[in-house]
Structures are given as C-alpha cells and as structure tokens.
Amino acid sequence: MLNDCKIARDEFTTHLKNIPFTENTGGMNTYSMYFVYLVVKHISPATIIESGVWKGGTTWLFEEISPSSNMICIDPHICNYGSEKEWYIYKSPRARYIHEDIFDIDLDNIKNKENVLVFFDDHQDHIPRINHCKSLGFKHIILDDNYRCNTGSHQTLHWAQLNPDDYNMEFKIKNEINLNEYIPEASLFNSNKPTNSNVTYIELV
C-alpha cells in the first residue's frame, strides 16, 4: 500500500484531530483506524459498504478520508442503544443508512463493483459474508475482529483458513494483509501497540 508509514501517519493524525467524539470504547483503536486509512487510500473506493456502525467512528473516518465515495451504512439497530445512548453518536449526512442485515439488502445495482470496499465490523461469521461479497462481485474487504484463535463472538476467516475442511469457502484470495504484519512498529503513535488489533484486508480473485 503506502511505502512510508510515518508520512502516512502524519496525514492520518491530522484527520484524526477532527473526530467528533473522544471516547470510542468498543470501537476501533488508533492502530486499527490507521490500517483502514491506508487501505482506503490505496483503493480509492467508489462505494464503501459498512456493516456494523456502533458509534459511527469508522463512518466518520470513511467520510473524512474518502469524501467522493458513496457510503452505505448497515446496522439492524434503528435508534440509540442502551441507557447511555452510545449508538450512532456520529451519523453522516452523506451516508445511506439501512437497518437490515447485508444478506437482506439488494446491492446488485451498485456500479463499478470491482471498486467497492466492504467493511465488516458486525461480529458475524466471516465466511458466509465473504461468500456473499464474492457472489455480488465485490473484491475488496476489510474484516475487523479476525481473531487468531477460535474465540470471540463469531467464526473468523483466520480460523477457517486453519481448518479449511470445516468451511465452505467459495472464494479465492488474491491479496491478504494483516495489520499486525503490515504495521510492526509500536512507536508509530508513541504508545504500546495493542494486542487486539485483529484487522485484515483481503482482495478476492
């Protein structure tokens, strides 16, 4: 993607100063958001589909760094959630919000499908979602919470790759980049690198 991570870091942190809230518990940490930033800058997607909105941190990030992209934000929750009303702290005026599951939405009419980026942070099993992207012609996918072991809320791509006979993977991967392999420097943000940054970018054949 970008060859000089430190130059890209400076550009990213300039954007990050504009984030509309300061507390993002349960959302992406700085390293994960930085990795997403690198992917988006590399692809320059015509359309971004976000499955799993939460507070709206990545919605804001997509809007901030890719202002020309069409945005579709998918989440079954239709209102603020919980006593602290922490859901949808940021809502983009440019995005189309859909309160259904990605399997129940008609996405066939999206143009330039090879230049669509699909971002999954919805804590649902990865393989059926990647298969669905393949059937729709979407090639660029970011998977958050791609845990390196059989733990957490869902079955991950990584776990399926370790146990391929147990999963119906109807796709082939052309490129795969994992955050912890691509950004090895813990000093990029003058802090210890988090151990739970399980974000993966894949490009399908």
104-126: per-residue pLDDT in tens?
999 999 999 999 999 999 999 99
In angstroms, the CA 118 to CA 120 distance is 7
Higher-confidence residue of 100 and 194: namely 100
Q: Which of 10-19, 114-123, 181-190, 195-204 has the highest mean pLDDT?
A: 114-123
Q: Does the pLDDT at position 84 exceed 60?
A: no
pTM, two decimals, is: 0.90
The model's pLDDT over 48-80, given as tens digits with 9 standing for 90+, comes to: 999 999 889 999 999 999 999 999 999 987 665
| C-alpha separations of 203 from 75, 91, 106, 169 in Å | 23, 28, 22, 14
Q: Answer yes or no: are the C-beta atoms of 194 and 11 closer than 8 Å.
A: no
Q: What homologous superfamily is domain 5-19+28-204 in, according to CATH?
A: Vaccinia Virus protein VP39 (3.40.50.150)
* 140-176 burial: b if 16+ Cβ within 10 Å, else e: bbbbbbbbeeeeeebbbbbbbeeeeeebebebebeeb
Q: Distance between CA 61 and CA 16 in Å, rounded? A: 8
Q: What is the DSSP string of 62-101?
A: HHHH-TTSEEEEE-S--S--TTTT-TTSS--SSPEEE-S-
Q: What is the mean pLDDT of the chain?
A: 87
Residue spans of the domains in the chain: they are 5-19+28-204
